[in-house]
Amino acid sequence: MSFAFERLLVNVLFLLLPIFIYQIFLLDKDKVRSDFKNPLFAILMSLSIILCMSYPIEFFPGFMFDLRQVPFIIGALYGGYRFGAWLLITILGYRLLIGGDDVYVNFLVVTLVAIIVPILSKTYMKLNLDKKIVFSISIAVTTALLTIFLSHYISDMPFAYSSISLNYFMIQGLSMWLLVYLMETMKNNHQMRKELAKAEKMSVISQLSASISHELKNPITITQGFVEALEDENSQERRKEYVGYALDELQRAQNIIYEFLALTKPDLNTMNIINISQELAYVVNLMKPYAKANSVKIKMEPLAEDCKIVGDHQKIRQCFINIVKNSIEAMENGGELHLRSTVNSNKVYIDIIDNGVGMTPKEISQLGTPYYSTKEQGTGLGMMIVFNVIKKMKGDIKIQSQKGKGTQFTIMFPLSS
């Protein structure tokens, strides 16, 4: 393999490097749009141009060439005159810095590209992938031929076949095909992921709406029945009892709506330093009557002291209440619920362990998804709130379970500095 051909292949790697950086660190993390019109893309193209110009090939003495035109054309096609002007300044500035006899050739070709290619940008963006590839390759090979012709003309060298010029012509065209194909594939994949996320969100909303309407129907129907019964009831004691039942059902309906709102738009603006051990102890005391009514004994090991995290104490209480309540209800015939907290590597871990009915791996994987619950009358909203709030507080939750033996929830939060 000739030295010139190796240099051209190195240039191809310099072309690919910014594309992969843009995808891995920006596009995949949704930090930029997928239309390649972000100034960061122009900066990465400038980097590619400088790297290519730093490793050129020599046509003949004094005339050095590389694949700088490929990222230049790409930038002008996707970014128009704004990117074209920036990349033109990059090429001319760096070329004057490194010198050489082909400055005039370079100046003429890149100036023509900077003037003509942005005009074609709007037409190019309307084309499908195949036509974009043909369109961009045509520009790339045309500028390659123009560069080769002007180099021979200005240097008074006879125009003749050479392997260097052939390799340059072919690799410039193939490089343009590769970059356009990769960029368009990246853009289409990113848009497809956004569409899938949007479709999934609409599906969640649909499922939640069905769940909410179903859950609200019962308390509203019961309330309506008690209100109607008031008309035919003369006993003040009975009327008071009916009003109490109606208010209880309305409160239940309000709680369902609150859970839904907490899920769709968690109110985590009141973030403060909270003592996680104190919050856990509060929830245990609160849930003891409920546990006793279900023949469940809560055993809490001595909690790690001074475990402080950043969070909303109301939301973290709601998370613990939901998990403890689910664990109690999972022990249909009574049992023991164990709670403990440990500190390790600037993180606090809270374990909530029951010896209830347990779950299968499939049930665990579905836990926290809308409209899914292991309970007959459940909506899945409680665990969805748990997952949502813990994630917002930069925590994590892991679930281990065995059917017929019980379940262990392990919740992790980073300690506040």
| pLDDT per residue as tens digits for the range 148-166 | 888 777 766 655 556 667 7
> Residue 57's pLDDT is what?
82
Residue pLDDT, tens place only, 20-38: 999 888 888 778 888 888 8
- Report the pLDDT value the prediction gives residue 386, as an integer from 0 to 100: 84
Residue 234: per-residue pLDDT:
75
pLDDT at residue 173, rounded to an integer: 93
Report the pLDDT value the prediction gives residue 12, as an integer from 0 to 100.
92
pLDDT at 205: 60
For residue range 38-51, list pLDDT tens digits in order.
899 999 999 999 99
Q: Is the confidence at residue 365, as pLDDT, over 60?
A: yes
> Residue 141: pLDDT above 90?
yes
pTM: 0.56
Show the tokens assigned to 196. Answer: 């899938």
pLDDT (tens digit per residue) in 257-291: 776 665 555 454 567 888 888 888 888 887 787 78
- Least confident span in 103-107, 327-331, 371-375: 371-375
